[in-house]
Amino acid sequence: MSVTYNFGFMDEHAKKEVRRSILKAISIPGYQVPYSSREMPMGRGFGTGGLQITLSLIGADETLKVIDQGSDDSVNAVNLRQFVELTCPGVNTTTHLNEATLIQSRHRIPEVPLTPNQTLVLQVPYPDPLVVVEPSEDKRKVMHGEADYARLLVKLYEDIVKFDEITISHRYPTRINGHYVIDPSPIPRWDVPKLHNSPALILFGAGREKKIYAVPPHTKAEPLAFDDVPFRVESFNDAQGNRRPCERCGATDSFLDEYINEDGSKRYQCSDSDYCDTVLAETKEAANA
Amino acid sequence: MGYVAIKGGGQAIRGAEDVLEALRASEGMEGAPLSIDAIENQLRLLTSRIVSEGGLYHPKLAALAIKQSQGDTLEAAFALRAYRSTMPRLMETQAQDTSKMRLIRRISSAFKDIPGGQMLGPTYDYALRLMRLDLTDESPEKFRDIARQFLEQTPEPNLPDTFPKVVEALREEGLLPQAEANEALPFDITREPLIFPVPRSAALATMARAETGSLLALAYSNMRGYGDVHPTIAELRVGYLPVMLPHPITGELTEAGEVLMTECEVVAMYEDDSNHGKPTFTLGYGACFGHNEVKAISMAILDRALQKGMKEGASNPSEDPEFVLLHVDGVDSMGFASHYKMPHYVTFQSDMDRLRTTQQKHEDSKNTKMGDAQ
Amino acid sequence: MRKILEVRNLSKIYGKGCPRCIESTGPEADTNMCPHCGSVVAIHDVSFDLHEGEILGLMGESGSGKSTVVKNLYFDQTPTSGSARFIEEDAKHEMFNLNAAQQRRLRNQRFGMVYQNPHLGLNFGISSGGNIAERLLMSDVSHYGEIRERAKELLSRTEVLLSRMDESPAAFSGGMQQRVQIAKALATNPPLLYLDEVTTGLDLSVQARILDLILEIQQERNTAMIVVTHDLGVIRLLTGRALVMKYGRVIESGLTDQILEDPQHAYTQRLVASAL
C-alpha cells in the first residue's frame, strides 16, 4: 500500500469550504464562523485550525513562515513547516519575516509590523471569550449577536476589586470593529495593540472548536478596559524601573523570555528569534562600519 | 552566552521518531513483525474499535494504524481519521435497512423468544475471566487447527436472509410509536459544524464515531442515577450489513460490499405524550461500525437521554446535547490533552507578569495600612 | 400625571391551546386548566394603565396569574397574545414587537425587577457591588470609579453595610439580599419597577423595614411600581390602585381603599374577610 496526497493534504472541496468560511469571517469582523474542521495528522490543539487555513490559502507562489512561541525552530513550528513542505511541493518556506507572505503563528505576533502583502494566521485553542462567564454555546451566540458583554466586564470589575488590577494575562478579550469581542488567541497582552488597524489580514483558526474568525486590515481592535483603568501590556522593567534589554541583541522594544540560570539568577532574551537575529546583525554591521 | 531559545526542534523530532521505531522492534533478533492480517483477525475487537472511532470502514488500514501507533487506540483512530480527510467523497449511500444484516449475533433481553430466534454468537459475556495460560506458548500448528476444526464441526447454517426487528413487533402492538418517515437528509458531521441546537441525526453521527470510553462514562452516569432512562435492550445485533449504492449507469441499488456493524435498540420507560395521545414506550438507538457492543449500548442510552434533553431541557449532564456531543470525540479530546505538553513559555511569562504586579500591589497596600496604623 | 404603561388584553397560555380553552377556564369554571386539551390559561385578557410614580397592586392567591403578568412585562416570558406599550417622554415602545436587543435595553435601562427568590435576581458568583456593576455595564457606563461610587451610593441608600459590598450576596441574610436586589434594580434609575412577592418569607420586622424603604424610594424618585403579592397588608400599605386576580382573570379593579373597604366580588369579599 502506498499513499499520495493532494496538494495541501486536504481534498479540494474541503479547502474551498474553509476559504468560504474565511471570506465570511472577513466580511463580519470578529464573528466566529463555524466550519466543519477536518482531522489533520497532528493533534487537536497543535495548530490544526491554523493549519487548515494555511493549507487552504497556500499556493505554489507563496512563502511561508511558521513560528511557535516566537521561534521558527521550536518543535511544533518545525513539525508544521515540514508537513507543509511535504504536502505542498514547490512552496517556499522561510524564517525571515520580510520574505514571508503567509505567517502561521502560535502565541505571538512578530515584533516588526506586518505589511499589506502579508497574512497572519494565528492558532486558537479557545475561540470564545465568553466561555468564562457562560458555558452554553447556544446562549453565547445570542450574547455575541447582541454585543452583550456586560458579564465579561463584570469580571474585570471583580478583578480590580479583589486584586486592584486586571489579572487577565493573555487571551485578552478584544472588541473588533466596535461589536464582536474576540479571544485573540493566547498572544501576550504585548501583542494585542498590533491587532489594531493592522495593514495585514489576521486570521484565527480553532480546529478543535471548529471556528474561524478574522481581524481584517485597518480594523479597530480595542482591548476591553475601563476609562480610568486602562489596558496595560507586560512590563519588562527591573526593580529600579529601567527597561530590561535583551541580553543577546540589546533590543529594548521586544517581548522578552525569562530564563533561570544555574545559580538562580535570571536573564532575558527576545522571544521573537527572527527579530533578535535581525537586531544582532544590524548591531554587528554598525560596529564594523 | 548562546541563544538559549527553543533550538534544534527538527533534530529532536527526528530523534523521537527513531527511538519510537526502535522500541517497536525491541524484541531484536527473536522478533517477527506483526502482520496486518494478524492484527485484523487476532485483535479483531481492537480493529473494530478503530474503524468505529476512526469513522472509516477500512479494517486493513485500521490494522495498520494499530501497528504503527503501537496499540494506542486514540492514536490509531486519529491516523485513520486524518487519512479520511484527504479522500474526496464520490457517492452517498441511502438509508440502509439493517433487517438485511447477515447476523453473527443477536439477542434481546426484553423477550425470551423473538421472531427469528436469539443467537448468542461470539461473546465474552458468559466467559470465565480466567487467565488462559495455555495461550502463552501456543504452537502455530495448534493455532491453525482451531478454525479448521470449528468449520468442520459446525453444520451448514440454514439462516434466512432477513431477521425481523424486535421493535417492529412492539410498534405493531402500539407499545412503541410508529417510526416517523423522515425525508430530511441526515446531518453530515464531516461537512457541517455542530451549531446547537442540532438535529438527532447529528447527535447519532457524532456518537457513532465517538471514543468508546467517553460514551460509556456518560451513559454510565445516566444508568447510575444522573438520569432516568432505565433501558431494556429490545435487540442487540452484530453482523454484516450489505451496503447498497445506486448503480452509476442504471441507478438501480446494487450491493457494493458489506460492513461489520453493531446495532442496539433500547426501550425506555414510557412517558406522557405532550400531545395527550396514547402513552408509549420510547426508543433509544445506537449503531456503529465494527463489533463494539458496549459502545452501541452506551450510544442507545445516550440517544434516549438526549432526545429527552432536546425536548424538555437537560436535568443531567447526559441529557445535555452540548455537554455530551462536544466531549465524546476521542480525536478532539486526546489532542487537546496532549497539547498541554507543548511549550507555553509566552503565556506563562504573561501569567508571571500579572502575578508579580498583583503581589506588588498587595505588598504596597499592606505597607500603607501599617503606615496608617503607626 | 403622565401615563407610562398601557397593557391591553394580555394572555399567556401554557400548552398548545384549543378553541375551547377560554370558555372552559377562569373563576366560573373554577380552574385555569382546560379540561379539553390540558393547556393552562395562566392569564387572559388582562388590561390596565400605569402612571408615573404610581404603585399598582396585583393581588390573588397562587395560581391566579399575578406573577405571570410581571414576568411577561419584564420579558422573562413571551405572552401568547395582547400588547403592552411603554411610553417615555420622547418615545413609545410596542414592547412585544421589539427585537431581543431592544427588549434587553428596556429591561436593563428602563425597568427593574425584584424577585421573591434572590437567586433569580442576583448573581451569587460575584460580589454585591459586582451585581450592581453588571447593570451599569449593560448600560454602557465604562468608568470604574464611577461604577464604584454609584454602587456605594445605591447600597448605602438601601442600607446595606458598605464594608460588605465586596462579598457575595450568598453570605447575606434574606432581608439583606432583598436590599441588594433593590439596589441592583435601581442602578439605572429606572422609571418602572416590578416587585414580585419581595417580602414573602421574611421576618415581620424585616418586612416592615423593606416596605418602608420601597415607599421612600417611590417618593424620592417618583418610580412607578407594579407590586405582586398575596399579602393584603402589603397591598394596603404600598398601593394606590389594585387588580384582584383569580384563575388568570381580573375579577375586580379600582382604588385600593375602595376594594379593601367595600369589595364587590364575592371572592374579594372572602379574601378581605379572611385577612381581618
- The amino acid sitting at B173 is E
Last residue of a domain, one of B300, B316, B334: B334
Radius of gyration over every alpha carbon of chain B, rounded to an integer in angstroms: 27
Cα separation, C40 vs B223, in Å, equals 34
Task: Say yes or no to pLDDT of C246 above 50.
Answer: yes
Say whether C60 sits in a helix, a strand or coil: coil
Instruction: Inform me whether the pLDDT recorded for B4 exceeds 60.
Output: no
- Give C-chain residues touching A153 at CB under 8 angstroms: 133, 137, 142
User: What is the overall mean pLDDT for chain C?
Assistant: 93
- Is B154 near chain C, with CB under 8 Å? no
More confident residue, B288 or B6: B288
Q: What are phi and psi of B257, to 5 degrees?
A: 155, -175
Domain boundary among B84, B115, B131: B84
CB contact under 8 A, C133 and A157: yes
Greater confidence, C80 or A5?
C80
What CATH number did the domain enclosing A50 receive? 3.40.50.11310
A166 domain residue, yes or no? no
Are B274 and B210 in a shared domain?
Answer: yes
| A interface residues, C as partner, C-beta within 8 Å | 142, 145-148, 150-151, 153-154, 157-158, 160-162, 226-229
Q: Considering A163, A185, A220, which residue would you say is the last residue of a domain?
A: A220
DSSP states of B112-164? SS-TT--B--S-STT------GGGGG--HHHHHHHHHHHHHHSPPP---S---
Does one domain contain both A64 and A117? Answer: yes
Q: How far apart are CA B185 and CA B95, in angstroms?
A: 10
Question: A146-150, B163-167, C68-72, C181-185: which has the minimum mean pLDDT?
Answer: B163-167
Q: Chains B, C: CB contacts under 8 A, how many?
A: 3
d(CA A281, CA A250): 11
Name chain A contacts of B81, Cβ cutoff 8 Å: 39
Tens of pLDDT, residues A155-206: 999 999 988 888 898 999 999 999 999 999 999 999 999 999 999 999 999 9
Hey, is the C-beta of B90 within 8 angstroms of any chain A C-beta? Answer: no
> Is there a single domain that holds both residue B220 and residue B249?
yes
- Based on the fold, state whether residues A81 and A114 are members of the same structural domain: yes
Neighbours of A105 (CB within 10 A): 25
- The residue ranges of DSSP E strands in A62-133, in sequence order, are 63-68, 92-93, 102-106, 119-123
pLDDT of residue B1: 38
Task: Name B235's bridge partners.
Answer: B265
Strand runs (DSSP E) across chain C, as ranges? Answer: 3-14, 40-51, 55-59, 81-87, 92-94, 111-114, 192-196, 224-229, 241-246, 249-255
Confidence check: pLDDT of B81 > 50: yes
Domain shared by A62 and A199, yes or no: yes
pTM of the model as a whole: 0.81
Q: What is the dihedral of CA A46, A30, A91, A5, to 10 degrees?
A: 60
Judge whether A162 is closer than 8 Å to chain B, CB to CB. Answer: no
Number of structural domains (chain A) is 2
Residue whose C-alpha cell reads 486493513 in the numeric block? B60
Between chain A and chain C, the number of residue pairs with CB atoms below 8 A apart is 49
- The answer to whether residue A153 is domain-embedded is no
What amino acid is encoded at B168 in this protein?
E
Query: Which residues, at least 6 apart from B335, have a Cβ–Cβ distance to it below 8 Å?
Result: A42, A43, A44, A45, A46, A48, A208, B78
**Residue of C274, C276, C270, C275 lying closest to C246 (CA atoms):** C270
State whether B43 and B108 are in the same domain.
Answer: no
- In this structure, what are the phi and psi dihedrals at residue A46, rounded to the nearest 5 degrees? -100, 15
Q: What are phi and psi of A244, to 5 degrees?
A: -75, 135
Name the interface residues of C facing B (CB cutoff 8 Å). Answer: 16, 37-38
- Judgement on whether residues B211 and B66 belong to the same structural domain of the protein: no
Smallest Cβ distance to A68: which of B331, B343, B353? B343
Residue A283, domain extent: 238-289
pLDDT, position B266: 96
Q: Which of B273, B276, B312, B365 to probe by mutation at the C interface, max C CB count within 10 Å?
A: B276
In whole angstroms, give the CA distance from residue C131 to residue C155: 11
Model ipTM? Answer: 0.84
* Assigned domain for A144 exists: no
Measured distance CA(A160)–CA(A168) in Å, rounded: 11
**Cα A85 off chain centre by:** 22
| Angle, CA of A202, A203 and A204, to the nearest 5° | 130
Whether the per-residue pLDDT at B286 is higher than 70: the answer is yes
Count up the domains in chain B and report the number: 2
Residue B108 phi/psi, 5-degree rounding, is -135, 135
With contact defined as beta carbons under 8 Å apart, do A145 and B195 qualify?
A: no
Residues of B in contact with C16 (CB under 8 A): 275
Q: Which residues of A146-170 are buried (b: 16+ CB within 10 A; e: fewer)?
A: bebbbbbbbbbbbbbbebbbbbbbb
Residue B135: other Cβ atoms inside 10 A: 8
- Whether residue B257 lies inside any domain: the answer is yes
Using an 8 Å CB-CB cutoff, list chain C residues near A143.
Answer: none
Lowest mean pLDDT among B171-175, C109-113, C244-248: B171-175
Provide the residue range defining the domain that includes B43: 14-84
Which of B58, B84, B110 finishes a domain?
A: B84
Chain mean pLDDT for chain B: 89
Is the residue at A281 inside a domain? yes
> In the listed set A160, A189, A220, which residue is the last one of a domain according to the structure?
A220
Is B152 found in the same domain as B59? Answer: no
Please name the helix (run of DSSP H) or strand (run of DSSP E) that holds residue C267, with its range, or none.
helix C266-275
CA B346 to chain centre: 36
> Does B142 lie in the same domain as B49?
no
C164 and C151 Cβ atoms separated by less than 8 Å: no
Q: Is B70 in the same domain as B171?
A: no
Cα four-point dihedral sign B229, B233, B239, B240? negative
Q: Are residues A250 and A209 in the same domain?
A: no
Give a yes or no: residue B373 inside a domain.
no
- Are B103 and B171 within one domain? yes
Q: Based on the domain organization, do B146 and B54 belong to the same domain?
A: no
B 208-237 residues with CB < 8 A to C: none
Query: In this structure, are residues C3 and C51 in contact, taking their beta carbons and an 8 Å threshold?
Result: yes
If asked whether residues B45 and B102 sit together in one domain, one would say: no
Cis peptide before B197 (omega within 30 of 0): yes
DSSP β-bridge partners for residue C5: C50, C86
Helix or strand (DSSP H, E) at B84? helix B73-85
What are the C-alpha distances in Å from B327 to residues A7, B78, B282, B322, C197? 32, 16, 25, 8, 41
- To test the contact with chain C by mutation, choose from A161, A166, A231 the residue with the greatest count of C C-beta atoms within 10 A, namely A161
Any idea which residues of A carry the catalytic annotation?
Answer: 30, 246, 249, 270, 276
Q: pLDDT for A9-55, tens place per residue?
A: 998 999 999 999 999 999 999 999 999 899 898 888 889 999 999 99
Residue B277 has pLDDT above 70, yes or no: no
- Mean pLDDT, residues C189-199: 94
pLDDT digits (tens, 9 = 90+) for B95-132: 888 999 999 999 999 888 888 888 899 999 888 888 99
The confidence score (pLDDT) of residue B302 equals 98
Same domain, A38 and A118: yes
Residue at A141: amino acid letter: K
Same domain? For A19 and A112 the reply is yes
Q: Are residues B258 and B178 in the same domain?
A: yes
| pLDDT band at B5; cut points 50, 70, 90 | very low
B239 in the same domain as B133: yes
Measured from the Cβ of residue C35, the count of other Cβ atoms closer than 10 Å reads 11
